[in-house]
Amino acid sequence: MDSVSLLIIAVIVMLIGLAGTVVPVLPGVPLVWLAAAGFGVLDGFRHLGALSFAVITLLGIAGVTAELWVTQAGARAGGASSTSALTGSCLGTLAMLFFGLPVAILTALASVFGLELRRQGDPKAAARGSGGWLAGCLLSVVVQFSTAILMILIFLGSVLT
């Protein structure tokens, strides 16, 4: 397969990955990274430089983990404990597997709220903690989307020059 065809396929997969940063059923950042890696391997890394691929990989690691660390930071900023935020995220992820996104978000929010209510005994503090979790979750989508865009731009900059 020639480099132009590989590039077209890689960009299409990357755009699907970009969509996956906002559509939870698609693997967003990992798909962008896999497209770059696949292009590099199939092209023999003739057009994608090692430094560019290393930067794409580091950004990919940051993007893949963003949901965890950004959501945790949001929850902590709202006054929730790391344990409550992580438990809420895990239960929300589990709910997503069986019931979809709306139930997953409600499950996570209710979990953080319940755990914080138990921990702090104050409904307002529990609401702030779960609100912080939600804000962090939404911010993580922005971080993942931005990371995927940056990965795509670095890929295209490396391959097209």
Burial class (CB in 10 A: 0-12, 13-18, 19+), 45: middle
Total domains, the chain: 1
Residue pLDDT, tens place only, 21-54:
998 778 899 999 999 999 999 999 999 999 999 9
Residue pLDDT, tens place only, 51-103:
999 999 999 999 999 988 898 899 999 999 989 999 998 999 899 889 888 89
**Which pLDDT belongs to residue 1?**
72
Q: Enumerate residues 6+ apart whose C-beta is below 8 A from 16.
A: 26, 31
**Which pLDDT belongs to residue 70?**
92
Percent share of the chain, pLDDT over 90: 78
Decide if pLDDT at 106 tops 80. Answer: yes
Residue numbers of the domain that contains 152: 3-160
Please state, in angstroms and rounded to a whole number, the distance separating the CA atoms of residues 47 and 70. 34
Nearest to 36 by CA among 112, 118, 147: 147
Tell me the longest C-alpha to C-alpha distance in the chain. Answer: 64
